[in-house]
Chains A and B, each alone.
Chain A
Amino acid sequence: MARETVPVQIQSVPAPRIASRRWPPSADRIASVLLIAPSVLAIAVFVYGFIAFTGFASLTKWNTLRPDFTFIGLANYARLFSTVRFQIDLHNTVTFTILFLVLCLSLGFGLAVLLDRGVRGEGIFRSIFLFPLALSFIVTGVVWRWLLNPGSVELGSTGVNQLFDRAGLGFLKSGWYTDPGIGIKAVVVAATWQLSGYVMAMYLAGLRGIPEELREAALVDGASEVQIYRHIIVPLLHPITLGAIIILGHISLKIFDLVVAMTGPGPGFSSDVPAFFMFDTTFRGNYFAQGAGIAVILLIMVAVLIIPYLVFNLRTETQR
């Protein structure tokens, strides 16, 4: 589970009584600043300072264990974008993100609707759908590596393929992550397994928050169940969908552990991702500058996704 799987809903805080601008400030005021100072300092150095350093490193010639800070401008980036492996990585990231979002959202929404309609054993179902979230991507990767290990024509099928064989569904067999045409899509299966339950839980909470009267009123007006979902419920759930897209989207941009444990870069880099390339080139190849470049590109992709959302959230809070 990623640390970031918490939807950012920022609770509005009532405005302070009077903005105290007395000088000298009271002892409590000083104390309040002192109390958060260590955290602020830590984030300033370990997040913003480090990012600045990484940004700087990406503009240098640092390609040995010991730093070499000769400034070479954007050369690393130019080179990176012309590297076949990086092009494949970006392509994989897009494929992964789209598939992962579509699968998680549709599966999560579908299951939430079914559970919301009131079924026996709801608690059990909910727990089953949600528990993969408690696991580490490493555990998920190890298990799914064996499940999606295709076996071979010569020695026999293994994993899921073997299950298909036994069920007489042999045509469903596939090479999974060993097939360069599938590659990263096999990782999507494992990632969806792990995180779709989380989307289900978010939607379920959202559905439970919709007043029953709204549905009743619509029913009285002669709306069908499908119409109610389309015109009332789904629009009401938009904020949740948006939140889920943001959370899942930024996880998929950063995906690393799962790829490490499950597939590695795969045949022809078909399951390689930028985060893995960064680790590989920086710490194995000693291309610190290039690794820093990849990190900066990752950061920009995440920032494009996250910052508008954060700003939007904080704005609406102050407006309230």
Chain B
Amino acid sequence: MVRYIRGLTVLSLLLVVALVPVSLSGAAMGGKLEIFSWWTAGGEAEGLSGMFSVYKKLYPGVEIVNATVAGGAGTNAKAVLATRLTGGDPPDSFQVHAGLEVQKYDPAGFLDPLDTIFKSEGWEKVFPTGLLTLLRYQGHYWSVPVNIHRANVMWYSKKVFTANYLTPPVTFDEFFKVADALKAKGIVPFVLGDKEGWEAGHAFEAVLIGTLGADAYRGLWTGKTQWTDARVAQALNTFKRMLTYTNSDHAALTWDGAGQYLIDAKGAMEIMGDWENGWFQSKNYADYGWAPPPGNTGVFDALSDSFSLPKKAPDRENAMNWLKVAGSKAGQEAFNPKKGSICARTDCNQSLFNPYLQSAAKDWRSNALVPSVIHGAAAFESWATQYKDALALFVTSGDVAKTQATLQAACKDAGVCK
């Protein structure tokens, strides 16, 4: 009995000691601002904190809570966010891809339309028309765009290419020739990191564009092109062959981990969005080049990050100010050079941007624009998820016919294909 009492005394002492610091936290000065995003990698995190500093200068009394949820392309973040919205405990503002992704959050039920602030800030004049169209859903604006990303970029190690007297491939035939040459030298030709399940679908977008061309690719998401089309099978076969040139540990790596192959000059090419550019910079790596993936010349596969306003945002006033900063010239100029994206606004000072981004800005104005599916622009989230899962499976199964059938079924589910 005495033993028990002694044991319990120890336990309760532990508990009491543990309770003491409770009073230390809580009760902050002034208001808060909770910004929810999935920006946790090098360049993107720096970009976000750049925008935070602009906000802090204007509203020094507000404490910013940087509520990031790890997981690229927001895979985990979206799960947490949906729960918080339905639970009635939303953040003050959250990241959402411009485009049909917003449908997932049932904007009429959970978000506030931002038409007034678009007017008062004059944003309809400074954002490009194509983007404004993408942002409008059910006749309203639901989020403020901060940037434009290009999804279809092929990054390559200059060192590898010059050492082997090669030039970046423009067609798929050239791609395989280059890949064979590099493989013989013991270099990984096609670097991939598909740990999180969306990266294969991302790379395949570029293969689809390269095989079908801009118009037919766009048609896949509107029902004009059927997924049963022979060119889709052709794209899958090409992708399957490309996958034989990847690094052995692709399933263990995230996109940035895979980029390490380029930095170490042990890998040659990686198809990834231009956030890779920001990441290379944060790693002080400069010896990289970029080109459109095979067949993608003249096509800009676009996505845009934007911020929304939940109906029950606890610090509404602060959130409105945040959205104003996010849409402002100063905010976007602080954010984008680091994030590795171009401004959603058309009036940013180009000299702030590195050569890649300047070239991207030029392409954005001159290229054919297509929406990215993996990054929420082209399709409803539910369809995008089915597409993503089908491609993640394809990497291991390599089953062209079955994958094509699944993709067609997904299109039917979405009510776009008959």
Residues of A within 8 A of B248 (CB): 152-154, 175
Is B8 at the interface (CB under 8 A from chain A)? no
A150:B195 contact, CB within 8 angstroms: no
Query: How far in angstroms is the closest Cβ of chain B from A187?
Result: 14
Interface positions, chain B 233-284, Cβ under 8 Å from A, are 247-252, 260-261, 264, 266-267
Residues of A within 8 A of B105 (CB): 65
Interface range on chain A: under 10, 10 to 19, 20 to 34, or 35 or more? 20 to 34
Query: How far in angstroms is the closest Cβ of chain A from B80?
Result: 7
A169 to B75, CA, bound (A): 38
Residues of A within 8 A of B110 (CB): 65
Interface positions, chain A 272-287, Cβ under 8 Å from B, are 279-280, 283-287
Contact of B82 among A84, A152, A270, A284 (CB under 8 A): A284
Contact of A284 among B75, B247, B397 (CB under 8 A): B75
Q: Which residue of A lies closest to B195 (CB)?
A: A264
A279 to B82, CA, bound (A): 11
A150 to B104, CA, bound (A): 37
B385:A285 contact, CB within 8 angstroms: yes
**Known A-B contacts A155-B264, A285-B381; A268 and B396 likewise in contact (beta carbons under 8 Å):** yes
A150, A284, A287, most chain B CB atoms within 10 A: A284
B393:A85 contact, CB within 8 angstroms: yes
**Known A-B contacts A65-B85, A65-B105, A180-B396; A151 and B80 likewise in contact (beta carbons under 8 Å):** no
Residues of B within 8 A of A269 (CB): 389, 392-393
Residues of B within 8 A of A284 (CB): 75-76, 78-79, 82, 385
A279 to B83, CA, bound (A): 10
A109 to B78, CA, bound (A): 44
Residues of A within 8 A of B86 (CB): 65
A265 to B71, CA, bound (A): 13
Query: How far in angstroms is the closest Cβ of chain B from A266?
Result: 7
Q: Which residue of A lies closest to B249 (CB)?
A: A152
Residues of B within 8 A of A149 (CB): 252
B85, B188, B396, most chain A CB atoms within 10 A: B396
Is A64 at the interface (CB under 8 A from chain B)? yes
Residues of B within 8 A of A151 (CB): 249
Main secondary structure of the interface of A (DSSP, over half): loop
Interface positions, chain B 43-79, Cβ under 8 Å from A, are 75-76, 78-79
Is A267 at the interface (CB under 8 A from chain B)? yes
Residues of B within 8 A of A66 (CB): 106, 109
A175 to B248, CA, bound (A): 9
Residues of B within 8 A of A268 (CB): 392-393, 395-397
Contact of A267 among B194, B266, B267 (CB under 8 A): B194
B104:A286 contact, CB within 8 angstroms: yes
A264:B106 contact, CB within 8 angstroms: no
Is B292 at the interface (CB under 8 A from chain A)? no
A63 to B106, CA, bound (A): 11
Residues of B within 8 A of A177 (CB): 252
Residues of A within 8 A of B78 (CB): 284
A153 to B186, CA, bound (A): 11
B251:A180 contact, CB within 8 angstroms: yes
B251:A178 contact, CB within 8 angstroms: yes
A178:B249 contact, CB within 8 angstroms: yes
Contacts A153-B248, A264-B196, A268-B397 supplied; 4 other A-B pairs, CB < 8 Å: A65-B106, A85-B389, A154-B188, A267-B396
- B interface list, Cβ under 8 A from A: 75-76, 78-80, 82-83, 85-86, 104-106, 109-110, 188, 194-197, 247-252, 260-261, 264, 266-267, 381-382, 385, 389, 392-393, 395-397, 406
